[in-house]
Amino acid sequence: MFATKPSTYFATAFTLLLIMVWSPSHAETPYTVTNGNELDIQSYQGYKVFRNWCARCHGTYGQGMRAPNLAESIATISKAEYLKVMASGKVSAKAKEMGRMPGWKGNAQVMDNLDNIYSYLKARADGKIDAVAPQSAK
Ligand code: HEC
């Protein structure tokens, strides 16, 4: 698949560079939602990891259960705060009713998908996808 001609290498390297330079401009809306419930691959991956590890406390779509509604929370906390809570957990005064938010430092699947999970939750927080089952856009 990869030809060995130097010009091909340069073209590939240049394309990768373009993608790297171009991507950060999309940091504000890290997701794409089409047809109401079709997510880009990263956000969909985030949803799947969320369903595995977070749904039992936060609800399948982050709508809240015994733990807070993250569609609301994510709109009020910074990305930096999100990353901190994810790594180290959180115990506030409400812990008596809600229990505690565990830290995920030791869970590679969660830690490797922090951005993907954030993208999904951000789409929820921005009201771009409701508490409905997401699909992967093809
Ligand atoms: C065992 C239950 C439980 C699980 C599992 C869990 N959480 Fe939480 N989470 C909580 C509780 C309880 C809080 C509220 C903590 C507090 O305010 O004291 C919380 C808070 C948070 C917050 C901060 C929200 C805010 O309003 O401050 C984020 C973000 C969050 N969780 C994301 C996640 C993600 C993503 C996962 C999956 C990787 C996850 N949680 C898994 C119980 C859980």
Mind listing the pLDDT tens digit for each residue in 107-135?
A: 999 999 999 999 999 999 999 999 999 99
Residue 105 lies in a domain: yes
The structural domain count of the chain equals 1
| 115 falls within a domain | yes
The answer to whether position 73 is within a domain reads: yes
Atom of ligand 1 nearest to the CA of 54: 37
Which of 1-10, 53-62, 63-72, 108-117 shows the lowest mean pLDDT across its residues?
A: 1-10
* pLDDT-derived band at 25, boundaries 50, 70, 90: very low
Q: What is the pLDDT of residues 68-77, one digit of tens each?
A: 999 999 999 9
Among protein residues, the one whose CA lies closest to atom 33 of ligand 1: 54
118 CA distance to ligand 1 centroid (A)?
A: 13
Position 19 in a domain: no
Rounded Cα distance between 117 and 104, Å, is 13
Name which residue sits closest to atom 32 of ligand 1, judged by CA.
86
In this prediction, residue 12 has a pLDDT band, given cuts at 50, 70 and 90, of: confident
